Amino acid sequence: MYKGKFYFQENDFNLINGDSLKILKKFEEKSIDVIFADPPYFLSNNGITCKSGKMVSVNKGNWDKCDSLKDKHDFNKKWIKECHRVLKDNGTIWISGTLHNIYSIGMALEENGFKIINNITWQKTNPPPNLACKTFTHSTETILWAKKNLPKVKYTFNYDLMKKLNDNKQMKDVWTTSLTKPSEKKQGKHPTQKPLEILEKIILASTHENNLILDPFCGSSTTGIVANKLNRKYIGIDNEKEYLDLSIKRYKEIKEKENANT
């Protein structure tokens, strides 16, 4: 499956520290059931935004900076190509993004043998206001769901379960939730942390128990927290040890609560 060193391993919750492009090459071909990726949005352009009522910089770190459009698209093509190689033929990939990177990602998916299944719109109930007042308030993110472009191969979609979770009505491609709750950031903050609710829908929709889920840009490992809760196996990759340590703290917090209730 993976031929390399883990940063942390416990109960199918596995973390790897390093450059995703290099790490992905150490995975066996067609060894992953589902991939969720929250890659750099390349938002760090020295602008400002509003957070908790205060004006703050949009800069998140060097990992979120890109010199040119070509560099951005080349980066997306490279990591998506590796994801295609490691994903099982009946597996699927989910990728989240904003207008800053999602169009490049959509092209890179099709250029590397994927077919887009759905374009999920995550509508945020409490987005930060637009301080410049020159555009509409940015209140959505896009999550692309794709499969390998293999016409005769079936992929997992737990349609009946998703319908049941939606009051026995077909679930639409617009998902409305708040931003990540403060209760989900007790162990520390990651600048692009996703709500548990979003990842729970994704994992329930496209996986079965004991499936292996890979997150090549795991950050604080929301994917892994949900995967562990739902009895799925998880591997997260990040080049920042700070975020992997935060992932471990979140994981241990959940385990402590589970042990206290048994």
pTM, full prediction: 0.89
Distance from C-alpha of 65 to C-alpha of 50, rounded to nearest angstrom: 20
DSSP character string of 72-133 = HHHHHHHHHHHHHHHEEEEEEEEEEE-TTTHHHHHHHHHHTTEEEEEEEEEEESSPPP-TT-
Q: What is the pLDDT of residue 55?
A: 47
Q: Which two tokens stand for residue 46?
A: 């020295």
Rounded-to-10 torsion of CA 82, 85, 89, 95: 0
| pLDDT tens, residue by residue, 60-106 | 556 456 678 999 999 999 999 999 999 999 999 999 999 999 999 99
Residue 239 lies in domain:
8-260
Q: How confident is the model at residue 57 (pLDDT cuts 50, 70, 90)?
A: very low
pLDDT tens for each residue of 125-165: 999 888 888 899 999 999 999 999 999 999 999 999 999 99
Q: How far apart are CA 33 and CA 214, in angstroms?
A: 8
Whether 66 is in a domain gets the answer yes
- Residue 13 belongs to a domain with what CATH number? 3.40.50.150
Residue 69 lies in a domain: yes
Q: What six digits make up the tokens of 115?
A: 């077919």
Cβ-proximal residues to 152 (8 Å cutoff; 6+ apart), any chain: none
CA distances from 179 to 19, 124, 193 (A): 28, 6, 9
Residue 3 within any structural domain of the chain = no
Q: pLDDT: is 185 or 229 the higher one? A: 229
Question: CA–CA separation, 253 vs 122, rounded Å?
Answer: 27
Task: With respect to residue 1, please indicate whether it lies within any of the assigned structural domains.
Answer: no
Please tell me the total count of domains within the chain. Answer: 1
CA distance 144 to 117: 8
Domain assignment present for residue 143? The answer is: yes
Question: Who has greater pLDDT, 250 or 46?
Answer: 250
**Is 124 buried (19+), middle (13-18) or exposed (0-12) by CB count in 10 A?**
middle
Distance, in Å, from the CA atom of 169 to the CA atom of 156, rounded to the nearest integer, reads 19
Contacts of 222 (CB under 8 A, 6+ apart): 180, 184, 193, 194, 195, 196, 199
* CA–centroid distance for 76 within its chain: 14
Contact status, residue 152 vs residue 98, Cβ threshold 8 Å: no
